[in-house]
Structure 1
Amino acid sequence: MRKIRLFIASSLDGYIARTSGEVDWLFTDQDYGYNEFSTQIDTVLMGSKTYYQVLTFGEYPYKDKKGFVFSKTVQVERDNNVEFVKENWKDFIHALRQSSGHDIWLVGGAQTIHYFMKYGFVDELILSIHPILLRNGIPLIVNDPSLETALELKDVKTYDSGLLQVSYDLKKI
């Protein structure tokens, strides 16, 4: 079965983006393991807000990956980059995990992460914690007490920039 891996960055106080969706505070001085991670996945998953935010960064960065966007409101079936998943999300995710291929990257955003966490679809969390306090923004984890999840530490990496990257397996409870 293919793993779903959440590889994401947050501020020290737990935000993945400013309220506007901007991520201008992210370090870009090195790849922080992204290139190695990218070779291990062949599929990207994200919500529609994240997808449309990614499109504002310039050329779509995941052209060599199969892409799916989860949205209940987008009316099209696909565009040049991705297919849109509008319903039967659980069935789609189960089928995708059973299909052949490499691991799957859950890119974001917060609502999509919440859904995947709620239904136990995330197998691994790789979190790059940037040494900044945003004090406001889009939280990594939506405040939902039903999302209590046990984590098993796999790895910790520190960088001279102050970035801390922690990797966890999510335990099935």
Structure 2
Amino acid sequence: MRSLRYNVAVSLDGYIAPHDGSTDWITPDPSIDFDALWAEFDTFIMGRKSYEDIKGTEVEERLLRHPASNVLIVSKTLIPEENPGVTIVSGDFLFAIRRQKEKEGSDLWLFGGGELFGACLDAGLVDTAEVAIMPTLLRGGVKLSTETGDGGSRAGQKLELQRVEKLEGSGILMCVYQVVYPAS
């Protein structure tokens, strides 16, 4: 089964984006091999807000030209005809993600955001949280993970550190955590 990997940049104080959705706070580091990273995935999953934040940017362009790209956007309001090149999932998105995990192929990149990550985490779908901790304090914005609002949030979700790497040039910490779910 393919892995669902939440791969995200986060500020030291736990935010994945400021309120305006900008990305200029993310510290660049030329040692990061983005081509190699993107090659590990063939499916990209994100919420509507994250998608709207990247629309018209180089990131959206890269997603749409990825050779094996399957882009799923979780949204109840986006209109499929107005968003070519992506699949809008307006119904049971957890079911749709489970189905994607069962298919043959590369891993799935849970691209964002905090609400979608929280819902997928509560459903037991996230395999790893791969966070690039930026040496930046945003002091507000979109949290790394949010409560789902349905009372099903798992407080104290356990993670097991798999590896950590400090990027010397930028001070970014690249951390990979395995999500540890309680035995059922």
Fold shared per TM-score above 0.5: yes
What is the CA distance between 1:120 and its match in structure 2? 1.4
What is the CA distance between 1:60 and its match in structure 2? 1.9
> What are structure 1's unaligned runs of at least 5 residues?
none
Match of 2:141 among 120, 125, 137: 137
Match of 2:117 among 113, 116, 132: 113
Give the alignment's Cα RMSD to 1 decimal: 1.8
What is the CA distance between 1:38 and its match in structure 2? 1.4
Higher alpha-carbon deviation: 14-23 or 54-63: 54-63
Q: Give a deviation string over 1:70-97, Cα, whole Å, max 9, x none.
A: 0122232673221000002222122111
C-alpha separation in 2, matches of 1:155 and 1:33: 17
Q: Which residue is 2:38 aligned to? A: 38
What is the CA distance between 1:28 and its match in structure 2? 2.3
Is 1:171 paired with 2:172?
no
Matches within 5 A, 1:22-171: 22-30=22-30, 32-58=32-58, 60-63=61-64, 64=66, 65-76=69-80, 79-143=83-147, 146-160=154-168, 161-171=170-180
What is the CA distance between 1:148 and its match in structure 2? 2.7
Between the aligned residues of both structures, percent identity stands at: 31
Contact 2:50–2:112 (CA under 8 A) maintained in structure 1: yes
Quick one: which amino acid aligns to residue 72 of structure 1? K
Judged with a 3 Å threshold, the aligned counterparts in structure 2 of structure 1 residues 112 and 103 are, in CA distance, closer, same or farther, namely same
C-alpha separation in 2, matches of 1:156 and 1:90: 29
Q: Which residue is 2:14 aligned to? A: 14
C-alpha separation in 2, matches of 1:91 and 1:83: 14
> What are structure 2's unaligned runs of at least 5 residues?
none
Matched residues, number: 173
C-alpha separation in 2, matches of 1:56 and 1:109: 18
C-alpha separation in 1, matches of 2:81 and 2:99: 18
Judged with a 3 Å threshold, the aligned counterparts in structure 2 of structure 1 residues 92 and 147 are, in CA distance, closer, same or farther, namely farther
C-alpha separation in 1, matches of 2:126 and 2:38: 17
Q: Give a deviation string over 1:79-131, Cα, whole Å, max 9, x none.
A: 32210000022221221111111100000012211211121111011100001
What is the CA distance between 1:69 and its match in structure 2? 0.2
TM-score normalised by length of structure 2? 0.86
C-alpha separation in 1, matches of 2:145 and 2:50: 15
Give the 3-state SS of the residue equivalent to 2:72 in structure 1: strand
Higher alpha-carbon deviation: 149-158 or 20-29: 20-29
C-alpha separation in 1, matches of 2:98 and 2:46: 16
TM-score normalised by length of structure 1? 0.91
